[in-house]
Amino acid sequence: MKVPYIMTPGPTQVSENVRLARALETTNPDLDPQFYDFYKETCKRIGEFLNTKNEVRILSGEGILGLEAACASLTEKGDRVLVIDNGIFGEGFADFVTMYGGEPILFKGDRQREIDIKELKAFLDVDRDFKYATVVHCDTPSGVLNDISKICPLLKEKGIITVVDSVAAMGGEEFKVDDWKIDIALGGSQKAVSAPPGLTFLSISDDAFNAMENRKEPIASFYCNLLNWKDYYEKQWFPYTQSISDIMGLRKAIDNILEEGLDNIIERHHSIAKATRHAVKRAGLELHIKDGYSSTVTVINVPSKINDKKLRNHMLNNYGVMVAGSFGYLEGKVIRIGHMGENAKTDKVCYTLFALQKSLEYLGFTPKVDMVEEFLKEQ
Ligand SMILES: *Cc1c(COP(=O)(O)O)cnc(C)c1O
């Protein structure tokens, strides 16, 4: 398999040391106490990455499993849940809430802007009777970034448990679980963390565990039941056999992040994203988002008369660069360049912009500037 540059907003390129870590010898993860220690230490390091002292667990399943597990474990029949929605993932939480018997109440924001804190505050002044609230940090299909540092403290002030999907932001944006009062923070292996897909991890606060323990009805799931994980270490028992090689890869990816340093990583993403937006705008292309730009993905409106599939295929077939389209209401309307994790590097983004430039020219849209040059000037 000849692997192209995967410049998509996840899955991302995986570094060699992560790939090699997945090839190391494995033990029986159910029975070997060494693995319990390894898992515990990995969770501790993820906690460092998330800036939290809360409990962390890694579940065997892609990011969606974490989202569903949070809703399954918290929702009881008839619970009112606030679903903060300014994007496809934001809105999607309503399905999980409904599935587990809750009543989702949607707070809808402009889909091209970050959630307006004043509007949310005004909404909460009228209605605050929610067991928990869900919000997405970076809603990847549009690339909009929400200010979790303001949203979650506001919700907690009203006594609402906070659930944040930061799958596509953490590792590329500042993310402070304890300072920002996030009860359940959700991450995935395949975005800015730059490990292969297959794992989700989450931090769980005491408030969140208490809400689960004080339920009247049992949690209507086994795989999604977070309480099953509470005392895994004391009991030396996992709810199911752990994907040990995946976890060994994730551990290396987290170590890579901690070694580079969180501040350095955030700065690297910020400067790459800023330069990318600058180059795209100077070229005469239009950014999809009006405010709330994520440092992990740049979403560009496809110029009229250009077909998004043809553009992406041309980039892939002629330059070996894969960028993404989008889905739902954005299908065919935008292309997305993922510059997250291992992909947030000058050389990779330069080559991607080169491929974009040449492909646009081929298809009849002439960028006003050389995007690579503009990108490098701004870097
Ligand atoms: C990628 C992603 C997930 C995980 O789901 P996928 O199946 O990979 O789409 C969850 N939330 C967000 C915001 C994501 O970007």
Give pLDDT tens digits for 113-122. Answer: 999 999 999 9
Query: How many whole angstroms from 40 Cα to the centroid of ligand 1?
Result: 25
Q: Which two tokens stand for residue 231?
A: 């005392």
Residue 3: pLDDT band (50, 70, 90) is: confident
Verify that 126 and 274 share a domain, yes or no.
no
Query: 3-state class of 323 per DSSP?
Result: coil
CA–CA gap between residue 360 and residue 238 (Å, rounded): 51
282 Cβ neighbours under 8 A, 6+ residues apart: 368, 369, 371, 374
Verify that 118 and 219 share a domain, yes or no.
yes
Query: How many whole angstroms from 168 Cα to the centroid of ligand 1?
Result: 7
85 Cβ neighbours under 8 A, 6+ residues apart: 91, 93, 94, 106, 107, 108, 109
Q: What's residue 296's pLDDT? A: 98
* Location of structure tokens 């918290």: 74
**42 and 254 in contact (C-beta within 8 Å)?**
yes
> Which atom of ligand 1 has the smallest separation from the CA of 197?
8
Verify that 96 and 213 share a domain, yes or no.
yes
* Domain boundary, last residue among 239, 259, 279: 259
Q: What's residue 379's pLDDT? A: 86
Verify that 281 and 232 share a domain, yes or no.
no
Verify that 225 and 239 share a domain, yes or no.
yes
Conformation bin of residue 148: beta by default, left when phi > 0, alpha when psi is -120 to 50: alpha
Q: What's residue 152's pLDDT? A: 98
Q: How many domains does the chain have?
A: 2
Verify that 26 and 125 share a domain, yes or no.
yes
**Pick from 249, 351, 320, 353: which is nearest to 1 by CA?**
320
Verify that 28 and 134 share a domain, yes or no.
yes
Query: How many whole angstroms from 139 Cα to the centroid of ligand 1?
Result: 9
Residue 2: pLDDT band (50, 70, 90) is: confident
SS (H, E, C) 164-196: EECCCCECCECCCCCCCCCCEEEEECCCCCCCC
63 Cβ neighbours under 8 A, 6+ residues apart: 165, 167, 186, 187, 188, 190, 191, 200
224-275 per-position pLDDT tens digit: 999 999 999 999 999 999 999 999 999 999 999 999 999 999 999 999 999 9
Query: 3-state class of 131 per DSSP?
Result: coil
Average pLDDT over the chain, rounded to an integer:
98
Q: What's residue 90's pLDDT? A: 98
Whether 126 has a pLDDT exceeding 90, the answer reads yes
**184 and 206 in contact (C-beta within 8 Å)?**
no
In Å, the largest CA–CA distance within the chain is: 64
Q: What's residue 277's pLDDT? A: 98
Scored b (16 or more CB within 10 A) or e, 286-302 reads: ebbbeebbbbbbbbbbb
Verify that 63 and 185 share a domain, yes or no.
yes
Scored b (16 or more CB within 10 A) or e, 186-220 reads: bbbbbbbbbbbbbbbbbbbbebbbebbeeeeeebe
Residue nearest to atom 7 of ligand 1 (CA): 64
Q: What is the separation of C-alpha 35 from the centre of its chain, rounded to a whole number of angstroms?
A: 27
By residue range, what is the domain housing residue 253?
16-259
Q: What's residue 288's pLDDT? A: 98
Ligand 1 pocket test, pick from 140, 166, 295 with the greatest ligand atom count within 8 Å of Cβ, gives 140
Verify that 373 and 243 share a domain, yes or no.
no
Ligand 1 pocket test, pick from 6, 59, 64 with the greatest ligand atom count within 8 Å of Cβ, gives 64
Whether 97 has a pLDDT exceeding 90, the answer reads yes
Segment holding 138, helix H or strand E: strand 138-139
Whether 1 has a pLDDT exceeding 80, the answer reads no
Verify that 132 and 195 share a domain, yes or no.
yes
Query: How many whole angstroms from 63 Cα to the centroid of ligand 1?
Result: 6
Judging by DSSP bridges, how do beta strands 55-60 and 199-204 pair with one another? antiparallel
Residue 144: pLDDT band (50, 70, 90) is: very high
* Domain boundary, last residue among 243, 259, 275: 259
**Pick from 89, 44, 48: which is nearest to 70 by CA?**
89
Q: Is the pTM of this model over 0.75?
A: yes
Verify that 133 and 281 share a domain, yes or no.
no
CA distances from 201 to 52, 66, 170, 250, 312 (A): 13, 7, 12, 10, 31
Whether 149 has a pLDDT exceeding 80, the answer reads yes
- Give the CATH number of the domain where residue 348 resides: 3.90.1150.10
Q: What's residue 276's pLDDT? A: 98
Query: How many whole angstroms from 76 Cα to the centroid of ligand 1?
Result: 24
* Mean pLDDT within 174-178: 98
- Give the CATH number of the domain where residue 143 resides: 3.40.640.10
CA–CA gap between residue 52 and residue 327 (Å, rounded): 33
* Mean pLDDT within 301-320: 97
* Mean pLDDT within 194-199: 97
Segment holding 57, helix H or strand E: strand 55-60
Q: Residues with Cβ within 6 A of ligand 1? A: 10, 62-64, 89, 136, 139-140, 165, 167-168, 188, 191
Residue 23: CB atoms within 10 A of its CB come to: 10
Q: Which two tokens stand for residue 262?
A: 């969180």
* Domain boundary, last residue among 233, 259, 285: 259
